Structure 1
Amino acid sequence: MTSTVMEAMTQQPRYRVKRVYDAPDAEDGRRVLVDRLWPRGVSKQAAGIDEWAKEVTPSNELRKWYHADPQTRRAEFERKYRIELADEGAREGLARLRKEAAEGPLTLVTATKEPDLSHVPILLDELRETPRADRR
């Protein structure tokens, strides 16, 4: 095997995070919207979204509950969101996103003003973890 092939086999999947209001660029690779609701004021064409992965986003109930008081609910939000991500539909969505990221850059796109305080870091953590079925 050539060294280039070996590098490709051992590279970690590349995930990026961008706000939907930031212009798409060539380095984004596949752009996946990871919000439950479509962003206000952004056309589908302008967003440059390849996929809308609703199944890996917090439920409407959880999202509304967290946004009511994010300062004090962060830890509980993370716990509840990870429970939602253990659901079969979410696990399938995570597996699909992992596969896409293994094939090339994957950009998680969100409308949230502060991605670091949103569900996105938790989602990234889950995407980077080895799925339970693969842990042996």
Structure 2
Amino acid sequence: MATSVSPEELVITVDVNMAKDLVSSGHLYLDVRTHEEFDKGHLENSIVVPYLFITPQGREKNPQFLEQVLSACKMEDNIIVGCRSGVRSLEASAELLNAGFKSIKNMGGGYIAWVANGFAVKEPQPQPQESV
């Protein structure tokens, strides 16, 4: 009888300080938030592939998630996966590992913790007001 492994048992979660060091040393950063969340602010050079979409019916998993990640990353890449708080990224990390990715780490605390630590983010530039 096969026992299922929970995402917490399968995935290595690192804190934001370790994630920052790993990204600085060349790990890719995969942001699994929605495009709307990403557009409000994100880590420089992030790859964005939403894990869930917000729909009128609620949250729905992105049916092309693996395919979209594979189009941006290789199975051998060192990847840090992050979201807003660390919940979606944990699930996404487990799915990537189950699909055969070799080096996946979840960023605990997510984007909220990254910002709370004062780490650099890329935010949208305010558009200049047109004079009337």
TM class, shorter-length: 0.3 to 0.5
More helix by share: 1
If asked which structure has higher relative contact order (CA below 8 Å, sep 6+), I would say 1
TM-score by length of 2: 0.45
More strand by share: 2
